[in-house]
């Protein structure tokens, strides 16, 4: 199922938490909402799941409208809320039965669904325990089982790996990837490697607005724009080298790398490369070109660029 969001805005009192946001998520996509704390990720998710009413704007799941048919949408969405609220005194199986009943799973199918979900999320050995007796990672699995119990076509997971240890993080990521094969998934995170590891596409959200949208690859090349080279030259003083490089036509900007003799970071003019010019210059001047390689802008840099004040 596809999710369409049009001009979505949410005010809390006078504060605008989500600011005129529009996007479409296609059937089968796994999309990450990436943004710093307070960006508006949870608020957007809560509106998509119909737990919170927008101040203005439209949300549709295929042809169902969130304002007109919230029940139809809730039926088709599995939601893991932030902080995954669970009833700690309840045994896992009882809790999942309770969730299945709430979601309107037909009585005759409930036991089968519970067994299946316990299997899918890997809770077999723990299934007779109370939720309060489980570690954080296993509680998160219960949260996922709860979200999946009615076999929804869409999954909305709010910070699904927060508070987990590195092994659990890897397991939950794998599980999400697996589930993403036949569901439309949105997950949120403030951690970049997280969305990069699990998502086909990333929406970077900052201060209630979408500031970037694309695959990790696309975001990188968008931000990159110009060729960025690291070079190291031996044969003259830094200032002589710098002066000579500055005369090259293809170069936009040069920066000395601090504490590294003869090392520079070179930005070429847009749509040009300065590799050949640098090489020729070194031959002319009888300098040794010890190093020359492309420097990739990391997603981390892009994220910081886009979300800094
Ligand atoms: P994120 O999930 O990206 O961290 P949220 O959607 O939780 O961001 O919050 C966006 C902004 O809205 C924040 O400034 C937050 O303090 C505010 N906010 C969130 N929930 C409420 C609420 N129930 N009442 C008032 N303000 C809220
Ligand atoms: Mg949040």
List, for residues 72-101, the tens digit of each pLDDT value. 999 999 999 998 888 999 999 999 999 999
Q: Answer yes or no: is the C-beta of 21 below 6 A from any ligand 1 atom.
A: no
Nearest protein CA to atom 5 of ligand 1, as residue: 40
Instruction: Compute, in angstroms, the gap from residue 61 CA to the centroid of ligand 2.
Output: 22
Residue 132: count of CB within 10 angstroms of its CB: 12
Nearest protein CA to atom 20 of ligand 1, as residue: 43
Q: Count of H helices and E strands in the chain? A: 11, 14
* % of the chain at pLDDT higher than 90: 72
Helix axes 92-102, 107-120, angle to 10 degrees: 130
Pocket test for ligand 1, best of 36, 40, 53 (most atoms within 8 A of CB): 40
pTM of the entire predicted model = 0.81
Ligand 1, residue 33: give the atom nearest the CA.
Answer: 3
Place of tokens 């927008």: 54
Ligand 1, residue 208: give the atom nearest the CA.
Answer: 10
Instruction: Compute, in angstroms, the gap from residue 158 CA to the centroid of ligand 2.
Output: 7
Show the beta-strand stretches assigned E in the chain: 3-12, 15-25, 30-34, 56-61, 64-65, 77-80, 154-158, 184-189, 201-206, 209-214, 228-234, 251-256, 263-268, 288-294
How far apart are the C-alpha atoms of 92 and 188, rounded to whole Å? 25
pLDDT in tens, 108-147: 999 999 999 999 888 999 999 999 999 888 898 999 999 9
Check whether 172 has a pLDDT greater than 90.
no
Per-residue pLDDT band for 5 (boundaries 50, 70, 90) equals very high
Q: Which ligand is nearest to the CA of 40?
A: 1
How far apart are the C-alpha atoms of 122 and 138, rounded to whole Å? 9
Assigned CATH topology for domain 3-221: Rossmann fold (3.40.50)
Instruction: Compute, in angstroms, the gap from residue 17 CA to the centroid of ligand 1.
Output: 6
DSSP H or E segment with residue 278: helix 275-285
Instruction: Compute, in angstroms, the gap from residue 120 CA to the centroid of ligand 2.
Output: 26
- pLDDT at residue 224 in the model: 64
Q: Answer yes or no: is the C-beta of 45 below 6 A from any ligand 1 atom.
A: no
Instruction: Compute, in angstroms, the gap from residue 92 CA to the centroid of ligand 1.
Output: 30
Residue 170: count of CB within 10 angstroms of its CB: 13
Instruction: Compute, in angstroms, the gap from residue 35 CA to the centroid of ligand 2.
Output: 9
Pocket test for ligand 1, best of 38, 188, 189 (most atoms within 8 A of CB): 38
**In terms of residues, how long is the chain?**
309
Report, as an integer, the average pLDDT of 275-282: 96
Nearby residues of 216 by Cβ (< 8 Å), 6 or more positions away: 196, 202, 299
Domain locations in the chain as residue ranges: 3-221, 225-302
Q: Answer yes or no: is the C-beta of 263 below 6 A from any ligand 1 atom.
A: no
Assigned CATH topology for domain 225-302: Alpha-Beta Plaits (3.30.70)
Q: Are strands 154-158 and 77-80 parallel, antiparallel or unpaired?
A: parallel
Q: Answer yes or no: is the C-beta of 41 below 6 A from any ligand 1 atom.
A: yes
């Amino acid at each position: 199922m596809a999710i369409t969001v049009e001009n979505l805005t949410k005010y809390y009192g006078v504060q605008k938490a989500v600011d005129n946001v529009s996007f479409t998520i296609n059937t089968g996509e796994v999309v990450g909402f990436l943004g710093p704390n307070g960006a508006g990720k949870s608020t957007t998710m809560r509106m998509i799941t119909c737990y919170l009413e927008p101040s203005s704007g439209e949300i549709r799941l295929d042809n169902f409208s969130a304002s007109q048919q919230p029940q139809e949408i809730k039926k088709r969405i599995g939601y893991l809320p932030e902080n995954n609220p669970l009833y700690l005194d309840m045994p896992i199986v009882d809790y999942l039965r309770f969730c299945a009943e709430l979601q309107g799973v037909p009585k005759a199918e409930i036991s089968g669904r519970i067994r299946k979900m316990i299997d899918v999320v890997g809770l077999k050995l723990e299934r007779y325990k109370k939720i309060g007796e489980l570690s954080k990672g296993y509680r998160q699995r219960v949260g996922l089982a709860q979200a999946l119990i009615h076999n929804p076509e869409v999954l909305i997971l709010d910070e699904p790996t927060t508070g987990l240890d590195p092994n659990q993080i890897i397991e939950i990521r794998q599980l999400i990837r697996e589930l993403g094969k036949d569901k439309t998934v949105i997950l949120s995170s403030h951690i970049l490697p997280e969305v990069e590891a699990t998502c086909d596409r990333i929406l970077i959200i900052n201060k209630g607005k979408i500031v970037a949208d694309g695959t990790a690859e696309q975001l990188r090349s968008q931000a990159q724009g110009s060729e960025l080279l690291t070079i190291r030259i031996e044969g003259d003083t830094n200032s002589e080298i710098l002066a000579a490089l500055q005369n090259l036509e293809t170069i936009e900007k040069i920066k000395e790398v601090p504490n590294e003799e003869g090392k520079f970071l070179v930005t070429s003019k847009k749509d040009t490369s300065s590799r050949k010019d640098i090489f020729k210059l070194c031959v002319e001047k009888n300098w040794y070109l010890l190093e020359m390689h492309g420097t990739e802008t990391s997603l981390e840099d892009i994220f910081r660029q886009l979300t800094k004040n």
